Amino acid sequence: MEKQLMHRLSDVLGESFKVLVQAPHFDTRIDADIFGYVPGKYVVLHSQRGRGGKGLGALGPKLGDSLIVRFLVEGIAYGFTSPVVHVQYRPDLLVFLQCPDLINKVSVRQELRLPCRLPCSLKDISGHTMPALLIDISSGGCQIASRELREDDREVGVAIKLQLTLPQDAGGEHEIAGKVVRLRLQNEAVIAGIGFDDHQHELMDKLRDFLCIDAPEPQAEPDESLEGAETLPQEGEARKNREAGAPQAAETGGEAEAAQTAEDSDDAAREGETEASADGEVQQQTTSPEAQAEPVPAKTGESNASSTAS
């Protein structure tokens, strides 16, 4: 007989996205949730009373008004501006925005993640220890997977400690204090994001040595402002690229230099001198692709005349 298991509805369906909503030309930002959306049609916003007891009603949304929506996912800030297409007041205030085709993206992660698969443990405030798998780690936090995370610990903001055992030359036992900053359910495992109370630069150096990874030093990322950010498709492709973390902007900066280099190569190809090779072929002395095309055979008449003269 199959054993009946009980789960919280939010663990199965997933929680809504936490977002900040703002009206253009106003500084007030309202905490809200994206409860759902229909691609190409609308996005549904809902809010309880947030900062200062204010909800979406404080913005006085009306049909046609534009609202700015921002949210953070895995170190990436997303945002879009969209008009209100419907407002529903009962049983709760729901604001329907036109679903954007494109949204802005800016990376705000300041620490490089180190992907890994290492056994570890989690220790809650009661001292209970749960086995887990370390999926990735940076000096500022980590991501773990566990099938034994207790219900009391499945809350954002809960204090927890990461216990990691490495070889003695890599520091041996490590216990790092932090708190849960993100939760999601994947099959039967809970994927939790943990933010460390203190940065762990020394541990990261030891992990790189232990895993034989020569990682570059973290570089400063753009701030959380979405101005001038690149755009990307919202549905599907954005989620596929979320962990790839490869920004597609910053390529245009080298276009002018590449074009100039191509022109210089063409000039060099025109002005390059030629030499007769041993097999009677002439090769261009240039590095441009056009100059490295098929060799040009020497003229037969000139070769015979040269032989006769000698």
Q: What's the pLDDT at 41? A: 93
pLDDT tier for residue 9 given thresholds of 50, 70 and 90: low
pLDDT at 31 over 70: yes
Report CA dihedral (296, 302, 306, 307) to the nearest 10 degrees: 80
Q: What is the pLDDT of residues 230-267, one digit of tens each?
A: 333 333 344 444 344 433 333 434 444 444 444 444 44
CA atoms within 13 A on the CB side of 3: 3
How much is the mean pLDDT over the chain? Answer: 70
Lowest mean pLDDT among 23-37, 168-182, 227-241, 264-278: 227-241
Q: What is the reported pTM?
A: 0.41
Calculate mean pLDDT across residues 44-49.
Answer: 82
pLDDT tier for residue 214 given thresholds of 50, 70 and 90: low
Strands 29-38 and 17-22: antiparallel
pLDDT at 21 over 60: yes
Q: What is the pLDDT of residues 136-168, one digit of tens each?
A: 988 888 999 998 888 777 888 889 999 999 888
* Domains of the chain, first to last: 9-107 (2.30.110.10), 114-211 (2.40.10.220)
Q: What is the pLDDT of residues 106-128, one digit of tens each?
A: 655 556 778 889 999 999 999 99
On whether the CB atoms of residues 194 and 179 are closer than 8 A, the answer is yes
Q: What's the pLDDT at 110? A: 58
Where is pLDDT greater, at 55 or 295? 55
Q: What's the pLDDT at 86? A: 95
Q: What's the pLDDT at 145? A: 93
Distance CA 275, CA 296 (A): 11
Top-confidence range, 15-19, 24-28, 160-164: 160-164
Question: Of how many residues is the chain composed?
Answer: 310
On whether the CB atoms of residues 104 and 231 are closer than 8 A, the answer is yes
